[in-house]
Structure 1
Amino acid sequence: MPYTHLDPRRLHAIDGVPTGEPVTMLNLVRFREQADYGPDSSHEPCSGRTAYLERYVPAFRAIAPTFGGASPVYLGDAHDLLVGPDDERWDLVALMRYPDLPSLQAFLDDERYLREAAPHRVAALADWRFQVTSAR
């Protein structure tokens, strides 16, 4: 089953992350062939990859500094999966660091993010995994 949307209930039920410590989010991304903005969209048609890399990522980077230094750690193309189901594939791996869990939650709840960045992510994605991690 593909997943493309963030459930706000899960975002605010995260448990076990040390208070005040940075969190790094692991993103596994599979793109749609064509971005899906819906029938009434004013966006020019493009691939899911283009919607993500040329629309979502720049919007994310423009908003992130206002949230205590949220920043990309790594963004790279995914290649062969060596361990896992044969039919599972990902197009992109991204690691994003946030100063702490409340900063992540505030960022993803922010009206500017929801208006200017999230629509491009949703249009771009065929499937997505978004995992909270913290350093040991």
Structure 2
Amino acid sequence: MKTIYPTSRAISDVLSKTQKGKPVVMLNLLKFREQADYHEPRAGVSGRDAYQEYGRGAIRCIHAVGGELIWSGTPTGTLIGPEEEQWDEVLLVRYPSLDAFLAMIDSPEYKSIVHHRTAAIDDSRLVPMLES
């Protein structure tokens, strides 16, 4: 099943399992659309192009809440997992807390750029992780 947005149930579940005030690292698995879907014609804009536009604004939002991009890269395949789940990009983003992440996605600046992510993404996973 393709997913782009979290459900309210998933958010509640994560909030109940994540210790307050602890740093959290978000694992982002991304599959891009061939052509970005902006709901209006934008010839020649790929999903990857749209995500790069989102990324330029998102990094400012991440830094504004004390977060940092700690790793990004391109997978070469899947050794363990469903063969049909192939990802175009993987990112690890550290936030000072889950509350910092939630504040970021609720900020006016983030809300002004998230449409680029929506246009870009065909499928995704976002996995919050506590550091051991």
Letter in 2 for 1:77: T
SS in 2 for 1:10: helix
Give 2:2's aligned residue.
Answer: 2
CA RMSD after TM alignment: 1.7
Q: Which of 103, 113, 121 is 2:100 aligned to? A: 103
Q: CA deviation at 1:109?
A: 1.4
**Distance (Å, rounded) in 1 between the aligned partners of 2:50 and 2:87:** 16
Alignment of 1:85-104 (within 5 A): 85-104=82-101
**Distance (Å, rounded) in 1 between the aligned partners of 2:8 and 2:109:** 16
**Distance (Å, rounded) in 2 between the aligned partners of 1:80 and 1:28:** 12
Relative to structure 1, is the Cα distance of residues 96 and 86 closer, same or farther in structure 2, using a 3 angstrom cutoff?
A: same
Give 1:130's aligned residue.
Answer: 126
Does the CA contact (< 8 Å) of 2:20 and 2:99 recur in 1? no
**Distance (Å, rounded) in 2 between the aligned partners of 1:19 and 1:32:** 35
1:72 equivalenced with 2:69 (yes/no): yes
Alignment of 1:2-81 (within 5 A): 2-7=2-7, 10-13=10-13, 14-39=15-40, 45-53=44-52, 55-67=53-65, 69-81=66-78
**Distance (Å, rounded) in 1 between the aligned partners of 2:29 and 2:18:** 20
Letter in 2 for 1:123: A
Query: TM-score, with normalisation over the residues of structure 1?
Result: 0.87
Letter in 1 for 2:83: D
Provide the identity percentage: 34
Letter in 1 for 2:51: Y
Q: Which moved more, 1:9-18 or 1:79-88?
A: 9-18
**Distance (Å, rounded) in 1 between the aligned partners of 2:43 and 2:108:** 23
Relative to structure 1, is the Cα distance of residues 23 and 108 closer, same or farther in structure 2, using a 3 angstrom cutoff?
A: same
Q: CA deviation at 1:79?
A: 1.3
Q: CA deviation at 1:29?
A: 0.3
Gaps of 5+ in 2: none
Gaps of 5+ in 1: none
**Distance (Å, rounded) in 2 between the aligned partners of 1:123 and 1:94:** 18
Q: CA deviation at 1:38?
A: 0.7
